[in-house]
Amino acid sequence: MKPILSIILIALVASSAFCQKQRNAKITIPFVTVVDKPVIEWVSYPNDTTRVGLNIQTLSCRVNSKLLLQRIEILVNGLSTDVYKSNDFTTTKSENSYVQLIERTVTLRTGSNLVQLIVENEKGIKSESTRKIIVDPTLITLVRDKNDQTPPMIYLSNPANLRNDRVVVYSEVIKITGAVMDESGIQQVTVNRTVTPVKTNGEFVINLPLNIGETTINIEVKDVNQNISLKRFTIERKNPDGSVYDPSIARNYLLIVGINNYTFWPALNNAVSDAKEVSKILTTNYQFDSLDVTVLLNDQATRSNIFEALRRYIEKITPRDNLLIYYSGHGYFDKLMSEGYWVPVDGKVNDLSGYLSNSQILKVIENINSQHTLLVADACFSGSLFASGSRGYVEHVEKYKSRWGLASGRLEAVSDGSIGSNSPFAQSFIKFLYDNPEPKVPVSDMVQYVKRRVTELNDQTPIGNPLKGVGDEGGEFVFYRRIK
């Protein structure tokens, strides 16, 4: 038994020694190194924190990778602004590695910004790098670089269908959109000399009203170093049917209203005779056909008849036609409402409901789709029809739509003249039409003549301007004499 016990005892001691040796041994785990990790090199912002003066910045980085790149994402303040995928890369190979240049214009908010670049290669190995960029507008003067001679870049997104810097449209307003970029920063963008707001990402939008015919658009962009870029193109606006206004085929409609014998208001001396003579001179010496003339005199000139006659032109007149409205009668101005009125033959004294207000007249004119509409009013207080500004002669004005008016006075009473003669206003208006030697004459010439002559000879001041808010586009009514 003793030998056996000795053998067992020796085995137990040996086992215990072996376990103790194992507990004292160090377990070694092989170290795994991450290889082929892309390296990000900042070109535009080499320091961790940078202060700049402009919100629009150009981010520029160089990415070096031993493997092909799969994805690059740019985040600004935690929001993804751009993602490059494998198909977007134009990498170059140098010293057994791939080099990808990333350039991107980013929009930063005023104050502190965190710009982050995340790069991933084809094995899914990623690298990240961040930069803190502080936008301080007071530093803009420090941005200027005398060596910068590179002008800004202009990208036009609409109109997109330019051909030889020209485009044809059929709408009254066009939305011009685009973007401007410059490494040094954009200082100003103007469209036809009007300063245009630019978003922080360089985009700009301007809604531009168009006249019939050609409009030249000049976009000028200046960077902080005073380098300038110009882009010029022409927009031609045509009528919806594609045609350009042709005076030789235009129909000239004429509405004549003259009232002497009022039911409730004092009678006038010369309103009817003035209206008749205006109708005669226009149909005899100028290109107004008697078939296109509507005449409302005395009892015919009720509020209902005047309004309906005006309203019918909304359906009758085409964009190729013109309309002249001549009113001779009483006028009234309500100071409480700052509103002027025509007084129809059946209008009662101090009863505004029976009058025809200027706003109603202008509303109808706004809906008459003519090429030119000219309103001539020989009545007291007619000046409230007009816009406050004035405008001089414009070349080729006939091809632009117009809505003009000529009134015998401003916010004042005007003379009806002595019995058997014309009113001072009608006398000058008719004299101009009779004496005019030109084959065609714009309304601005007539307005200047009438204003000057009436003011010199009488104590009243005529006014002639575009009408308020009814679609005037800078054109003018043109009177054509008949060819004999």
CA distance 159 to 171: 13
Helix%, strand%, coil% for the chain, nearest 5: 25, 35, 40
Highest mean pLDDT among 82-91, 364-373, 463-472: 364-373
Q: What is the fold, at CATH topology level, of the domain defined by 252-480?
A: Rossmann fold (3.40.50)
Q: Is the pLDDT of residue 238 over 90?
A: no
169 or 272, which is more confident: 272
Look at residue 277 in the predicted model and tell me its pLDDT.
Answer: 93
Query: Helix 271-285 to helix 424-435 angle, to the nearest 10 degrees?
Result: 10
Q: Is the pLDDT of residue 388 over 50?
A: no
HSE-up (13 A, CA, CB side) for residue 117: 27
Residues forming beta bridges with residue 175, ordered by sequence position? 207
CB 130 within 8 A of CB 115: yes
Q: Output the six-digit token pair for 94.
A: 């140098």
Highest mean pLDDT among 23-27, 63-67, 298-302, 361-365: 298-302
Sign of CA dihedral 424, 403, 295, 301: negative
Class assignment of domain 153-237? mainly beta
Mean pLDDT of 17-45: 61
Look at residue 163 in the predicted model and tell me its pLDDT.
Answer: 81
Look at residue 141 in the predicted model and tell me its pLDDT.
Answer: 61
CA distance 257 to 297: 6
Look at residue 27 in the predicted model and tell me its pLDDT.
Answer: 46
Look at residue 6 in the predicted model and tell me its pLDDT.
Answer: 54
Mean pLDDT of 289-307: 95
pLDDT tens column, 103-142? 877 767 778 999 999 998 888 899 999 999 998 867 766 5
Look at residue 251 in the predicted model and tell me its pLDDT.
Answer: 92
Q: Is 315 exposed, middle or buried (0-12, 13-18, 19+ CB in 10 A)?
A: exposed
Look at residue 229 in the predicted model and tell me its pLDDT.
Answer: 93
At 482, the pLDDT band (50, 70, 90 cuts) reads confident
Mean pLDDT of 186-190: 81
Q: Is the pLDDT of residue 172 over 50?
A: yes
Mean pLDDT of 381-395: 47
Residue 477 amino acid letter: F
Q: Is the pLDDT of residue 382 over 80?
A: no
Q: Is the pLDDT of residue 242 over 70?
A: no
Residue ranges per domain, the chain? 39-142, 153-237, 252-480
At 393, the pLDDT band (50, 70, 90 cuts) reads very low
pLDDT tens column, 440-466? 888 888 888 888 888 777 766 677 777
Closest CA to 305 of 358, 258, 344: 344
At 323, the pLDDT band (50, 70, 90 cuts) reads very high
Sign of CA dihedral 234, 237, 242, 243: negative
Look at residue 252 in the predicted model and tell me its pLDDT.
Answer: 94
Lowest mean pLDDT among 207-216, 307-316, 381-390: 381-390
CB 263 within 8 A of CB 306: no
At 17, the pLDDT band (50, 70, 90 cuts) reads very low
pTM score above 0.85 = no
pLDDT tens column, 337-378? 778 899 999 999 989 989 999 889 988 998 898 889 999 988
At 167, the pLDDT band (50, 70, 90 cuts) reads confident
CB 366 within 8 A of CB 319: no
Per CATH, 39-142 and 153-237 having the same topology is answered yes
Look at residue 71 in the predicted model and tell me its pLDDT.
Answer: 87
At 18, the pLDDT band (50, 70, 90 cuts) reads very low
Highest mean pLDDT among 308-317, 375-384, 385-394, 444-453: 308-317
200 or 476, which is more confident: 476
Q: Does the domain formed by 39-142 have CATH 2.60.40.10? A: yes
CB 289 within 8 A of CB 321: no
392 or 207, which is more confident: 207
* pLDDT, the chain, mean: 80
Sign of CA dihedral 327, 255, 304, 447: negative
Look at residue 65 in the predicted model and tell me its pLDDT.
Answer: 87
